[in-house]
Chains A and B, each alone.
Chain A
Amino acid sequence: MFKAILFTQWRWGRVLVATCVVAGFAIPVFSVRNAGGGSWNGPMWNALDLLASMQSYGPIYVLLAGFAGIALSTSAWAPDHAGRHVYALSLPLARWHYVLLRYGSGVVLLVPVSLALWIGALVASVSTPLPTGLHAYPGALALRFALASVLSFSVIFAVASGTKRSAGYALAVLLGLVLADLLISLFGGTPVVIESTLGWLFSSSGVFGIFTGRWMLIDV
């Protein structure tokens, strides 16, 4: 049964997976093009310049992890929503079992993306002469990427698996936060609800803490 679900999900999301695989391989390789003996804009021998360049690629890894997770979770449920969940009802499976198969298939499809990023990072590390004191972290970067993409997949998967009503609840919570800030500012206060909520979500102990670390292929 898992194979069948995995196959259907692969068919629905293969373009997305392929795109993410290519991007995952290309980004680390592209990020070191000017390091050491690179040639496009002249070599970058200075360690601080190289670190700054690596840092500037951090948000791109974050975006790719978020995009891969969100896109695959959406594609996992889109045909079910389009078919009004008749397919799920027709299967001799408990709901939790069906959701588990979908979830597992989605996570499996994220594996090639993380693998591509790891291989790209390895290629980039091996091909770059590093200045003194700097090291490459291809494994750590790929692990962070894998965890972040699974997390973003899980968030949207949870929202998409629910009914319109549950999606409405999630939206209502968001609107509630906006409304709270509006009320606070109407009464002359400083609106902090959204800021503090986001601050907690992206703090080291928050839900999205994995997104806020150092996304650097080369670091001290």
Chain B
Amino acid sequence: MSDVALARRRTRRRVAALGLTVIAGGCWTAAWAQSAAARADSLRLGRASLQALAVAFTAARQEADRSDSLARYRLPRDTVRVGGLVFRVMPAYAPLARNTGTISWEQLDGMFGDAALSLSSHVFVLRDGMTEINRSQGTRTPTVELAEVVDGVISPKHRESVNIAPADLANRVTRLATAELRARQDVALREWLNPMLNPSSPAWADRERTYIELVTADARVSERCFVGDLLRCRQALLITPVADTLSELYDAAGWRRLVQQREGSLRSGRTVPDFDRCVNDSDFQECLALLRHSGVPVAPLGGAARHSLVRTALAAGGRGAYARLTSSSGKPIAERLALTAGVPVDSLVSMWRSAVLAARPVRTGVLPGEAWLAVFWATVLGLVSFGSTRWR
């Protein structure tokens, strides 16, 4: 056999071996592919069943939580709904809950508008308190509790003993509801508004207090606001930032009065000579240094002024005003208030100022009508006694 034939034969064998190898590889690959597909199918099935199990488990857990919370936190049977407020009450307290709800809802709806409807995810529970005194005396002291209900799971939040008077109870319910709404406010708004808004307090009370603050404030800025400088009003309300509160908003006499008012904290130990130099010797630079060193926060107007501004904005903005206020987080407070009221911020501040000036408290002086009325009744009563008989 020639070398060529041998080479051809060797080549043929190699080709055959290669072909066999390719065929075997193909077969193996096909078999492997088939088993992988089967495995993927089985994995898919397994995952689906696991998912079904997880859903069932979650549902079971929720049901268990709901059952547990119901067992732990047994709600009274009767439900009373007034507006967005939901009460679960003992039957004896149903009329009280209706009266309370009416008063409270009027306050909440009046201030927060549509946003107050979000309170329907909570229940106010009204039932007998279990105190030893109640047990021994056979008396009833209702407690009011606030609980959040999410997917049927009840999470108790607050519990308070209350007096039976509907007005008192309504104030508690309003306060609890307002605290709940406040918890949803962003930090910037909450800090600016601090303390909490109080829908139970009439709007005129805030305005009257603000009037008194405006006419008695130590800050120069308040006096300017009182006479109609809207920029100063914005600064006094802390809605327009200032670089240096003490030097921009107060004058030298104001620094001295601020120091005088803070005698308790500023006149102690090493600061006694500084305090005396400020107050007794009217060393105004010493007053300023003392205030800066102490770092006590100073605000030209108090919480009532800011509350009255927000109330003015809410009243101007209608039912969706509060929702606009809370949903505009991240923007400056002045812009948020303008959005809330639906008017430019200067118009809002002007409206606020007019309302505050109109809330001037009635003076101590006796009005002529008042005096004449007293004289009239004293005369009438005197004439009645003149008609008495001498015979007994």
Contacts and interface: CB of A to CB of B under 8 A. Distances in A.
Contacts of B211: 220
Given A95-B390, A96-B386, A207 B377 contact: yes
B388 A132 contact: no
Given A99-B386, A151-B377, A163-B392, A214 B362 contact: yes
Chain A, interface residues (CB within 8 Å), range: 35 or more
Contact of B366 (A147, A207, A219): A147
B385 interface: yes
A155 B380 CA distance: 10
Interface stretch (A7-15, A26-34, A45-53): A45-53
Interface string B335-362: 0000000000000000000000000111
Interface string B373-390: 111011001101111111
Nearest to B213: A48
Contact of A161 (B375, B378, B388): B388
B260 to A, nearest CB: 5
A143 to B, nearest CB: 5
B370 A46 contact: no
Interface in A60-90: 84-85, 88-89
A143 B370 CA distance: 11
Contacts of A220: 211-212, 215-216, 360-361, 363
Nearest to A69: B378
B138 interface: no
A95 B257 contact: no
A196 interface: no
Interface of B: 209, 211-213, 215-218, 257, 260-261, 263-264, 302, 360-366, 370-371, 373-375, 377-378, 381-382, 384-390, 392
Interface of A: 42-43, 45-48, 51, 84-85, 88-89, 95-96, 98-100, 103, 131-134, 137, 140-141, 143-144, 147-148, 150-151, 153-155, 157-158, 161-164, 166, 204-205, 207, 209-210, 213-217, 219-220
Given A42-B263, A45-B260, 20 more contacts: A46-B261, A47-B216, A48-B213, A48-B216, A51-B216, A96-B387, A99-B388, A103-B382, A133-B217, A137-B363, A140-B365, A151-B374, A151-B377, A158-B384, A162-B388, A209-B373, A210-B370, A213-B364, A217-B364, A219-B363
